[in-house]
Amino acid sequence: MSFVSPLFLWYFMPAVLLAVLVLPRGWRNGVVAVGSLVFYATGAGSFTLLLLACMVVNFAAGPALEPDDWDMRPAQRRRWLLIGVVSFDLAILVIWKYAGFATEQIDAFAGLFGGDFPIAELALPIGISFFTFHHISYVVDIYRGERPALRDPVSFGTYISMFPQLAAGPIVRYREIADQLPQHRRHRLDDIAAGFPRFALGLCKKAIIADSLAPMVDACFSTPADEMTFAIAWLGAIGYTLQLYFDFSGYSDMAIGLGRMLGFRLPENFARPYSSVTITEFWRRWHMSLSRWFRDYVYIPLGGNRFGAARTYRNLSVVFVLTGFWHGAAWTFVVWGVYHGALLIIERAFGWDTTPQAPHQRLARRALTLLLVVFGWVFFRAADVGDALTMLGHMLVPDFTGLTDVVETALTSQRLVLLLGAAAIFFLPAHPVAGPLLESARSKPATALRVGVMTVGLGYSAILVATGTFSPFLYYQF
């Protein structure tokens, strides 16, 4: 079930919100947990059993991982239990997400010697990367003593399976939401009033902009290598840069808005990333919940930046190889991760990871950062590394060939206007960020934005959804 499907918008969401609103507040977690499992089952089917199995293992391990002031549970035993549970979580992720990729590589290697190796063909469970990271956050935060284990399976099920963030984030660390799981919600109507405009903003981003740009982007990236041109390459790269941002940030706005309506404050995930002046800043603004997760559970445990430059660069390399691989079982994602890791290392090595003071220098660095990000998205979107290199090669070598008939057909006047309008995000200042402004600010600009989103934007989005012109969120595949 997608957030932009009529089934969700007209039936599921209103039913859950109505139940949370009218039933006693002590029932909230139960309503959210049951509704979330129904939401997941409509799209994942039998994979719901896999999710439940992972939940059972992690919930059962929680109490035994807590530090014990009376030394009744030796630290070594807790450490081995943590290793076992995290290994279980990662094994589930590796088997279902990477077994096919791994066996393909083995088969290719065996083919060099005339051999053959069977390729594993496993369907990818929706949201497996996200609920795996939630489980790991839960057990690690308990082991560290940052939050106590949950004894109530309903509260645990609410955290792990909460439908706003289950399929595509944001990634909510356990310590960020543990204090919200007790059901002390008092201002239910205020929460709905604050969250719904944020949800509507995300719906507008997705339905009006991201889905409208998708056919044009698909046409550009599916252009054969011998027909690729300078214009098609740049149109596809810029189009995808905008499509991905409005699709994923739109999902995040919808998730945060839904969470607020249910009485939860989910963490922010985007903060105008295309206004960044450095790649370091970009990763503080893009998919922030993923960056925080890798920082807290990989980068800092590896030593962070505490043991000299060489160890810091090694740790950054590990984190961004894993970041790329987390996004998908393909060499394109690995290359994209290595590319960003290398850019971060270069910035640190030369002291370019800070914002210049002079306005002209900030402007130049912002343009360069955006250009580097656009190049990186080509690897992220391309079918394989060869296609990505072909497109990048055409982006670097101008020609006057123009567009193919297929791309011209996809680039309608409406899409061109939307593309140019969406490109305004490249030139806007870093602050304020629209989502939080819309949700909580009471200024005249915030009020005007709310009125526009809730009338024109929401109405047009509803028409697009009703006519079936929507597509799955891009991050559902991760």
- Residues known to be catalytic: 327
In contact, 51 and 44? CB cutoff 8 Å: yes
Residues found in the chain: 478
- Helix (H/G/I), strand (E/B), else coil: 443: coil
In contact, 320 and 335? CB cutoff 8 Å: no
| Alpha-carbon span 231 to 215, nearest angstrom | 16
- Count of beta carbons in the 10 Å neighbourhood of residue 264: 24
Element (H or E) spanning 30, and its range?
helix 28-44
Amino acid at 247: D
Element (H or E) spanning 320, and its range?
helix 309-327
Assigned token pair, 229? 């041109």
| Alpha-carbon span 271 to 294, nearest angstrom | 18
* Side-chain half-sphere exposure of 393, counting CA atoms within 13 A: 10
CA nearest 130: which of 89, 101, 99?
A: 89
| Alpha-carbon span 236 to 259, nearest angstrom | 34
| Alpha-carbon span 159 to 162, nearest angstrom | 6
DSSP-assigned letter for residue 221: H
3-state secondary structure 99-164: HHHHHHHHHHHHHCCCCCCCCCCCCCCCCHHHHHHHHHHHHHHHHCCCCCCCCCHHHHHHHHHCHH
